[in-house]
Amino acid sequence: MTLWRDFLTNDKKLIHKWKHYFPIYEHHLSRFTNQDVVLFEIGCGGGGSLQLWKRFLGPHARILGIDINPACRSFEEDQIAIAIGDQSDCDFLQKIINTTGAPDIVIDDGSHVMEHVNKSFSFLYPRVSRNGVYLVEDMHTSYWEEFGGGVRREGTFIEKCKSLIDELNADHTRAAIKPTDFTHTTLSMHFYDSVVVFEKGRHTVKRALAIGQPSEIYRTDRMPEKSP
């Protein structure tokens, strides 16, 4: 069953998600199905999305719901644990990781307040496992003042992402931008309507290769240097 169909036929706990997110989840999360993975979902809502991830990821997945609302404890069941606290509290997040180990998947569907989203990302992203995924939802709030947002306003998560694009490409900036851990551990960034997804992975030496018979039409010795 696709995730979308599972959502549409859900008669268990409430799930609250934008419909266009479902192909995004399928695209970035399907490779984790039936693996021994740890998923953090920040923001439990009615508890249904935690159950959705459990069904989608299969019997070996561990789902950890993070929420500021103590009532969310009632969502605990086999494979689903709950931690109550503020997503912007790094000590709290560290305590969770001490128990669960590094998350493979983080889905931030919490407060959507810029300060909180930024703090969670800064703390958790470096701690996500080396081939993991970090997904931030509802980033239309990056443009909404009541969430600390605003168009091109400094400090919004979308503005941070614009800088992170340069950081991702730092190896090619002729030393203008110093490569960071983010440069070395991020394979790709994906932008959708309201959603940003980061795919982690280690780079080997970055090198452009030309393999096959030499061509007079396409002379690689006349091409600009591709490695830094």
Ligand X SMILES: C[S@@+](CC[C@H](N)C(=O)[O-])C[C@H]1O[C@@H](n2cnc3c(N)ncnc32)[C@H](O)[C@@H]1O
Residues tagged active-site: 112
CA distance 54 to 109: 16
Q: Does 148 bind ligand X (CB under 6 A)?
A: no
Q: What is the smallest separation between the CB atom of 194 and ligand X, expressed in angstroms?
A: 12
Q: Does 68 bind ligand X (CB under 6 A)?
A: yes
| Residue 67, token pair as written in the block | 């929420």
CA dihedral 197, 201, 203, 204 (to 10 degrees): -150
Q: Which of 87, 118, 142, 156 binds ligand X (CB under 6 A)?
A: 87
Q: Does 103 bind ligand X (CB under 6 A)?
A: no
Q: What is the smallest separation between the CB atom of 122 and ligand X, expressed in angstroms?
A: 15
Q: Which stretch binds ligand X (CB under 6 A): 15-23, 27-35, 128-136, 182-190?
A: 15-23
Q: Which stretch binds ligand X (CB under 6 A): 38-46, 95-103, 123-131, 144-152?
A: 38-46
Q: Which amino acid would we find at residue 105? A: I
| Three state DSSP letters for 84-120 | ECCCCCHHHHHHHHHHHCCCCEEEECCCCCHHHHHHH
Q: Are 82 and 75 in contact (CB under 8 A)?
A: yes
Which residue ranges make up the site for ligand X (CB under 6 A)?
Answer: 15-17, 41-46, 48-49, 66-69, 86-88, 109-111, 116
